[in-house]
Amino acid sequence: MKRQLPLRKRVALAYGLVGMVLSLCFGVATGFIVADYEVFMLEAMLEGQSRHFIEELERNPDAELPRSPAFSVYREAEAPEGLRNLPEGVFDLEDQKDMHVAAYGPPGQRVVLMIDIGRVERLEEYLLQLFLLILAVGVVVSAWLGWVLSGRTVAPVLQLADAVDALPVTPVQTRLAETMSRDEIGRLAGAIDRYQARLADADASERAFFADASHELRTPIAVIQGAVEVMRDDTEASAAQRARLARMERGLAELGGLLEALLLSARGLPPQRDSIHLAEDCRRALQRLDIPGLDAPRRIRLEGEGPTALAAPQRWVDGILLVLFQRLLVSSAQTEWLGQLDADGLLLRPAQATAAGSGSGARSDLGLGLVFVERLCRALGWRLERGEGDAGLQVRLRIPPGA
């Protein structure tokens, strides 16, 4: 795609071109006017002088006529060869630069005038130089005015662009039109305000839908959970039945964690913050996942303390850790994990003994399904990073300083 000049430079260039065109028109018009005025004045002056000398000769036939290099008057009979029998009018002398000849009067009384208009020609050359100067100054001044005026014209657009860039990721209603003038820029700002309002309404509708859906799904899940607990307490259940019940319980726990994350995401980030000790919350989440088939406290071993004074909603942190641990444990069969708590947050990777043992370590291509967790992390300013280390898949819950 061809790269265009910035709008301000294009406007300044357009102003410069307009100034050049106007200066050219002015210069050409002035040149034509000066040329026509020169001919008109020369004819009027020579005709007037001719009438004067004809009247002078009528009064005094022997009157002495003026003769000089710049202006000479002759009786037609005394005129130089080639200037006799001329029709009335003004003529150029081709063999003498800047010399003009005029012949006026009736036959027998006609006089011939010769005049040097070299000074007038030099004046025309001076006017040409002045015209070129005016052309250059006109272009420069026009371009400068275009630059200044375009800067003032584009300034509201840049202000509006900065205001739009400063908008948060989540849709919010704006009042940009109130800060703009009531012109095309204000209309554009109003269109952005209306679009933001539609986005905010759609986001609110989406949040309400997810919140209602998660609430409505909690009831059947609770019913199923109660039925599973009753069946698990049945002393006559066989070992195969208990294994199936344990599997159902793990699935219900996972589904409950996902619904909790969905509900939190739908409600949005609350304004209140709690003091979070990341290591304690990790241990508490592992204890909640101490159910048959997961054995979270045994399969995830924690080291270190990590951040001890985070400011975040407690329910959000619990939801993130529960779903993260669940997805790791469910997706990686019998893999044992090492959770390293440090100043950057939490790093989860397969334990070295497991990775080097039977070869059942976690693969890097596992689909963990952490969409809800990533959404909650983004809202908190945290980052969930997945990659491959020496022992296979590793997940980093990165908590920037001050988040």
pLDDT digits (tens, 9 = 90+) for 198-215: 999 988 888 788 778 777
- Are residues 196 and 314 part of one domain? no
- Are residues 180 and 140 part of one domain? no
- Are residues 132 and 180 part of one domain? no
Residue 370 or 361, more confident: 370
Determine if residue 208 is left, alpha or beta; phi over 0 gives left, psi from -120 to 50 gives alpha, anything else beta.
Answer: alpha
**pLDDT for residue 357:** 41
Which residues share a beta bridge with 384? 397
- Mean residue pLDDT across the chain: 82
- Are residues 398 and 293 part of one domain? yes
Question: How many residues comprise the chain?
Answer: 403
Residue 357 or 222, more confident: 222
For residue 194, the enclosing domain spans: 176-205
> Within a domain: residue 384?
yes
- Are residues 116 and 44 part of one domain? yes
**pLDDT for residue 353:** 46
Domain tally, the chain: 3
Burial bucket for residue 210 (CB in 10 Å: 0-12, 13-18, 19+): middle
- Are residues 197 and 100 part of one domain? no
- Are residues 116 and 189 part of one domain? no
> Within a domain: residue 260?
no
CATH number reported for the structural domain that contains residue 344 in this entry: 3.30.565.10
Mean per-residue pLDDT, 228-247: 80
How many CB atoms neighbour CB 396 within 10 A?
18
Tens digits of residue pLDDT in 255-278: 888 788 877 877 778 888 899 999
> Within a domain: residue 282?
yes
> Within a domain: residue 219?
no
Mean per-residue pLDDT, 379-386: 89
Tens digits of residue pLDDT in 93-131: 777 777 888 888 888 788 888 888 877 778 778 888 888
Rounded to an integer, what is the distance from CA 102 to the centroid of its chain? Answer: 71
Cβ(334)–Cβ(364) below 8 Å: no
Rounded to an integer, what is the distance from CA 109 to the centroid of its chain? Answer: 84
Determine if residue 85 is left, alpha or beta; phi over 0 gives left, psi from -120 to 50 gives alpha, anything else beta.
Answer: left
Beta 337-342 vs 300-303: how paired, if at all? parallel
**pLDDT for residue 193:** 92
pLDDT surpassing 70 at residue 280:
yes
- Are residues 181 and 95 part of one domain? no
pLDDT surpassing 80 at residue 223:
yes
DSSP calls for 28-87: HHHHHHHHHHHHHHHHHHHHHHHHHHHHHHHH-TTPPPPB-SSEEEEEGGGSPTTSSSPP
> Within a domain: residue 183?
yes
- Are residues 182 and 133 part of one domain? no
pLDDT band at residue 347 under the 50/70/90 scheme:
very high
> Within a domain: residue 84?
yes
**pLDDT for residue 2:** 60
* Token pair of 12 as six digits: 């300044």
**Cα dihedral 147/148/154/158 (nearest 10):** 100
**pLDDT for residue 368:** 64
- Are residues 180 and 71 part of one domain? no
> Within a domain: residue 309?
yes
pLDDT surpassing 60 at residue 1:
no
> Within a domain: residue 222?
no
**pLDDT for residue 17:** 87
pLDDT surpassing 80 at residue 35:
no
- Are residues 140 and 12 part of one domain? yes
pTM of the model: 0.53
- Are residues 348 and 305 part of one domain? yes
Rounded to an integer, what is the distance from CA 157 to the centroid of its chain? Answer: 10
Tens digits of residue pLDDT in 154-187: 888 888 889 899 988 778 889 988 888 888 888 9
